């Protein structure tokens, strides 16, 4: 299977829904890749992989290491790497420096960054210099301290108008796609209709051009998740069951059995 391209993703607007999941490791990327159009190496790896309380402490080194693993494990999907907090906000030049390092070290096709109108010049700077950019608007987790939490956005008329303006700004600046997170359905619909690039929703209704979820959430790796997560499996329970069975067999000396034992040939 040949790898999809950024223009192929752009051309999906108004056609088939875009399928995106996060991935952080090579093996998971291998398993997800045949079923997805895009794989996102999200800075959600801070919580999911590293047990951090938010995405704020995620570093460029982490994103490059996991990004390279996901590119190595995939053949078909467009791989997008999140730019971590602090690596791009200061200036378009800082963003280019960080993004070019991500592209060079991982081989990914695109980066994603959070923000609206304030980030539009940065999106334009990167896009016009050969770095495809996915935007991220609505609930932007790197701004959790400013937003005061992870609640849904776009509830007031002012917030609705602001996020719609954010979408127009980054689309106008050349973002080839954008993620919209944690917004009321009418805002998701308005944004999807307002911009020419594909809008990928998470907690943003069925009105978008595609969907993304954190893979560990949809696999049921966590006890508690946001309302917008649908669990397609219960891996946490199944992993616990497997560990329990192993522990019992080690303690009862049922494992290893003859099949798992190297015996001398006689």
142 binds ligand KIV per the rule CB under 6 A: no
Spatial distance between the Cα atoms of 134 and 37, rounded to a whole number of angstroms? 14
Quick one: which of 179, 190, 191, 197 contacts ligand KIV (CB under 6 A)?
179
44 annotated ligand-binding residue: yes
CB 201 within 8 A of CB 210: yes
Of Na ion, ligand KIV, none, which one does residue 179 interact with (CB within 5 to 8 Å by kind)? ligand KIV
Compute the Cα dihedral for 42, 47, 48, 50 and give only its sign.
positive
Using DSSP's 3-state secondary structure scheme, residue 249 falls into helix
Spatial distance between the Cα atoms of 211 and 203, rounded to a whole number of angstroms? 9
Of Na ion, ligand KIV, none, which one does residue 214 interact with (CB within 5 to 8 Å by kind)? ligand KIV
Query: Quick check: is 181 catalytic?
Result: yes
Quick one: which of 42, 115, 116, 220 contacts ligand KIV (CB under 6 A)?
42
From residue 81, give the alpha-carbon distance in Å to each of 49, 111, 131, 158, 169. Answer: 15, 5, 11, 31, 21
Residue span 180-219 as binding mask against ligand KIV, x where in contact by CB under 6 A, dash where not:
-x--------------------x---------x-x-----
Pick from 138, 148, 114: nearest CA to 203: 138
Binding residues with ligand KIV: total (CB under 6 A): 12
Residues that bind ligand KIV (CB under 6 A): 22, 40, 42-44, 82, 136, 179, 181, 202, 212, 214
Q: Which residues form the catalytic set? A: 181
Q: Which residues are annotated as a binding site?
A: 43-44, 82, 112, 114
Residues that bind Na ion (CB under 5 A): 42-43, 82
């Amino acid at each position: 299977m040949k790898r999809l391209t950024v223009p192929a993703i752009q051309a999906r607007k108004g056609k088939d829904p875009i399928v995106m999941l996060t991935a952080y490791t090579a093996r998971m990327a291998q398993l997800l890749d045949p079923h997805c159009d895009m794989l996102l190496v999200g800075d959600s790896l801070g919580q999911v992989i590293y047990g951090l309380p938010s995405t704020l402490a995620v570093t460029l080194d982490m994103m490059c290491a996991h990004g390279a693993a996901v590119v190595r494990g995939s053949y078909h999907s467009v791989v997008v790497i999140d730019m971590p907090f602090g690596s791009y906000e200061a200036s378009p030049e800082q963003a280019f420096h960080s993004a070019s390092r991500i592209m060079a070290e991982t081989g990914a096709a695109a980066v994603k960054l959070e923000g609206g109108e304030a980030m539009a010049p940065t999106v334009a700077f990167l896009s016009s210099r050969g770095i495809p950019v996915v935007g991220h608007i609505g609930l932007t987790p790197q701004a959790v301290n400013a937003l005061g939490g992870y609640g849904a956005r776009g509830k007031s008329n002012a917030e609705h108008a602001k996020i719609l303006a954010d979408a127009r700004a980054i689309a106008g600046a050349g973002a080839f796609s954008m993620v919209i997170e944690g917004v009321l359905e009418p805002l998701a619909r308005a944004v999807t209709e307002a911009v020419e690039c594909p809008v990928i929703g998470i907690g943003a209704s069925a009105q978008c051009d595609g969907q993304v979820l954190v893979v560990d959430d949809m696999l049921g790796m966590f006890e508690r998740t946001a309302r917008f997560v649908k669990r397609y499996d219960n891996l946490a329970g199944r992993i616990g069951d497997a560990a329990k069975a192993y522990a019992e067999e080690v303690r009862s000396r049922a494992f290893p059995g003859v099949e798992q034992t190297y015996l001398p040939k006689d």
